[in-house]
Amino acid sequence: MTRRWLFADQLGPHFAVGHDGVLLVESRRALARRPFHRQKLHLVLSALRHRAAELGDSAVLLRTDTYTEAVRELGEPVRVYEPTSYAAERLVRRLHADGVVEDIDPTPGFSLPREEFAAWAGDRRRVRMEDFYRFQRLRLDLLVEGERPVGGRWSFDDENREPPPRGAERLDVPPPYQPREDDIDAEVREDLDRWTREGHLSPVGDDGPRVFAVTRREALAALDRFVTKRLGAFGPHEDAMLRGDWAMAHSLLSVPLNLGLLDPVEVVDRAAQAYRDGDAPLASVEGFVRQVIGWREYVWHLYWHFGPTYRRRNALAARRPLPGWFDRLETDQVDAACLQDALTGVRERGWVHHIPRLMVLGNWAAQRGYHPDALTEWFQTRFVDGYDWVMPANVVGMSQHADGGAMATKPYVSGGAYIDRMSDYCGGCRYDPRKRLGDDACPFTAGYWAYLDRNAARLEGNHRMARPLQQRHRLADLEAVVAQERRRAATPP
Ligand SMILES: Cc1cc2nc3c(=O)[nH]c(=O)nc-3n(C[C@H](O)[C@H](O)[C@H](O)COP(=O)(O)OP(=O)(O)OC[C@H]3O[C@@H](n4cnc5c(N)ncnc54)[C@H](O)[C@@H]3O)c2cc1C
Ligand code: SF4
C-alpha cells in the first residue's frame, strides 16, 4: 500500500489515485519564491483545494513550508509521477534515494513517454516540429487514413492565418466557458489577501473573477463549449487580434491542460470527432490538433532534450534588463496600442493569446534586446499558464532566437505591417505602422530595422534572413532609425 503524492499540475483522473490515497501539498515557499501573477496563485491553490475536496477522506492536504517537510510529516513512503521541472525532478530523485519516494512513474500528462521521444529524436541532426507532429498523428491514429493525412495534407496553416474580419470589433462566435466561483475560491482569495498583507507574498497583476477551469468538471465543460461552439472559427482566426475581443476563438484550455485536468489525447480526440461528425471544418480541427499534440508536446520534450542549461542561452548577446514599467505591467504611459493592450491583458487576467505573446510582447522584447533569461522568468511568472517546462522552447527558442536557431529556423521579429494586417490596433494608435522615422514612427517598424542592424553579423549565416539583411542596405535613413531607437529605448513607447 503506497500513497500517491500528486503535484499541483497532476490533478486529473489520468493521474491515477489508486486505492491508497493521495498526498497533496501547498508549499508556502513554492508560492512565495517568485512574484507570480495574483490570478496564477489563485488558480493553483483553487485547483489543489478543489481536488482535495473531491477526493475527501482519501486525500491528505498538507500546508507546509517545503515539499520535503510535507512528505516527512506524512511519515509514510509515497509514489510519484515524473514531475515537470528539473528542480522538482532533482527533489524527487533525492527523496527516492532517501527511501521516502518509493517509485517514480512515467507521467501520463503527455501522450508520448520521454524515452520514446528520445528514441524518435535518436541521432537526427536536427529535430523538427513538423516531423514530430506527423509522427504523433500517425502514432495516435489521428486524422489519418493508413499512412496518409485525411484531406490529403498534413497542414492547413495556409488557410488558418487570416486577418480579422474587416470592420469587426469582435469575432462572431459564442463566448468561452466561464466558470462560477464557489466557497473554495472565496477562501483562496481571503488567504491570498492576508498573506500579501502580511508580507509573505508579493504577487503582480490584478485580482479578478476566475476565468479558467480548475476542476475536472469545469475543464470538461470548457472543452465541450470550445469544441461545440468555437472550434469552427479557431483555424481561420488563430493568428488574428482584435482589441475588443481578448479570447477570439482560442480554447482557453492551457490552464486546465497544464494543471493536468485534461488528458491531451482526449482533447484532440474530441476535436477529431467533431470533424468526423461534420461539426467543424478540417482546417480548424487540424490547426487545433497541431497545437495540442504537436506544439505542446514538442515544447515539453524539447525541455528535456535541450537540457537544463538551454534556458540560459543568449546567442544574440541581448543584455538589456526589463524596464520597470514592462516588468510591473504598468501601461499608463504606453501609447503603442498593440503593446498597451497586450500588457493590459497580462495585468488583468495573466493571459493573452499566442500572437500577442509572440508577435507583440516577444517581438518587442527581441527588438529591444531584453535579456532572454529575465524575459523567460517574466513570462513564467506573469502568465497563468506559465510553467518551467513550457518556457525555454517558447521564449528562449521561438520568441527570442537566443538558442542560435536550434528551435526555430528564423527569428519571429516583424515590423508594424504584420501587426497592422493581423489586427485592428494601428488605426487607433498614435504611431503609424508605415513610418520608421519621426515622432509618429511605429516602434515595431523602426525596432525591426534596428534589430536587424544590431544582429546582422550574428544572423549572417541564416539563409532565411539573407533577404531582410540585404534589404536594410537599401534604407537611406538606417543610421538615423538606429539612433532614434537607441534614444527611444529608455522610455515607454
Ligand atoms: C512567448 C510565448 C510564451 C508562451 N507561454 C506559454 C505558457 O506559459 N504556457 C503555455 O501553456 N503556453 C505558452 N505559450 C504557447 C501558447 O501561446 C499558449 O499555450 C496559448 O496561447 C494558450 O491559450 P489557449 O489555451 O487558448 O490556446 P489555443 O490557441 O486554443 O491552443 C490550444 C492548446 O495548444 C497548446 N499550445 C499551443 N501552442 C503551444 C506552445 N507553443 N507551447 C505549449 N503549448 C502550446 C496549449 O496547451 C493550448 O491550450 C507561449 C507561447 C509563446 C510564443
Ligand atoms: S502603429 Fe505600431 S505601435 Fe501602433 S498599434 Fe500599430 S504596430 Fe503597434
Q: For 292-313, write each residue's pLDDT tens digit.
A: 999 999 999 999 999 999 999 9
Quick: pLDDT tens for 368-401. 999 999 999 999 999 999 999 999 999 999 999 9
CA 437 to ligand 2 center in whole angstroms: 14
- pLDDT level of residue 178 (50, 70, 90 thresholds): very high
Which ligand is nearest to the Cα of residue 247, counting in written order? 1
CATH of the domain at 285: 1.25.40.80
Whole-angstrom distance, CA of residue 320 vs CA of residue 372: 9
By CB neighbour count within 10 A (0-12 exposed, 13-18 middle, 19+ buried), where does 107 fall? buried
Q: C-alpha 302: how far from its chain's center?
A: 14
Domain termination residue (choose one: 81, 105, 129): 105
Q: Which of 419, 430, 439 to mutate to test the pocket of ligand 2 (most atoms within 8 A of CB)?
A: 419
- The pLDDT, as a whole number, for residue 2 is 87
441's CB contacts (< 8 A; 6+ apart) are 431, 432, 435, 481, 484
Q: Is 463 helix (H, G, I), strand (E, B) or coil?
A: helix
CA 299 to ligand 2 center in whole angstroms: 30
CATH of the domain at 453: 1.10.579.10
Determine which residue's CA is closest to atom 5 belonging to ligand 2: 426
Q: Which atom of ligand 2 is nearest to the CA of 445?
A: 2
Name the residue among 130, 83, 86, 87 with its Cα closest to residue 110: 83
**Pair (143, 228) in one structural domain:** yes
- The pLDDT, as a whole number, for residue 261 is 98
**Pair (397, 266) in one structural domain:** no
Which ligand is nearest to the Cα of residue 346, counting in written order? 1
37 lines ligand 1 (CB under 6 A): no
CA 186 to ligand 1 center in whole angstroms: 28
pLDDT at residue 173 is higher than 80: yes
Determine which residue's CA is closest to atom 6 belonging to ligand 2: 426
Which ligand is nearest to the Cα of residue 341, counting in written order? 2
- The pLDDT, as a whole number, for residue 455 is 96
- The pLDDT, as a whole number, for residue 329 is 96
332's CB contacts (< 8 A; 6+ apart) are none
Model pTM?
0.96
Name the residue among 211, 429, 249 with its Cα closest to residue 339: 429
pLDDT at residue 114 is higher than 80: yes
Determine which residue's CA is closest to atom 2 belonging to ligand 2: 442
Are the beta carbons of 372 and 313 closer than 8 angstroms? yes
pLDDT at residue 440 is higher than 80: yes
**Pair (124, 258) in one structural domain:** yes
Give the residue, 269 or 491, on which the prediction is more confident. Answer: 269
Quick: pLDDT tens for 226-268. 999 999 999 999 999 999 999 999 999 999 999 999 999 999 9
**Pair (285, 330) in one structural domain:** no
pLDDT at residue 19 is higher than 80: no
**Domain span including residue 131:** 114-177+213-306
- The pLDDT, as a whole number, for residue 130 is 95
Quick: pLDDT tens for 128-161. 999 999 999 999 999 999 999 999 999 998 888 8
CA 248 to ligand 1 center in whole angstroms: 14
**Pair (271, 417) in one structural domain:** no
Name the residue among 406, 414, 346, 337 with its Cα closest to residue 375: 346
Which ligand is nearest to the Cα of residue 268, counting in written order? 1
CA 427 to ligand 2 center in whole angstroms: 8
- The pLDDT, as a whole number, for residue 1 is 67
Question: What mean pLDDT is predicted for residues 41-53?
Answer: 98
In a domain, 190, yes or no: no
Q: How many domains is the chain built from?
A: 3
Whole-angstrom distance, CA of residue 107 vs CA of residue 89: 12
By CB neighbour count within 10 A (0-12 exposed, 13-18 middle, 19+ buried), where does 237 fall? buried
394 lines ligand 1 (CB under 6 A): yes
Question: What mean pLDDT is predicted for residues 345-361?
Answer: 98
Domain termination residue (choose one: 76, 105, 134): 105
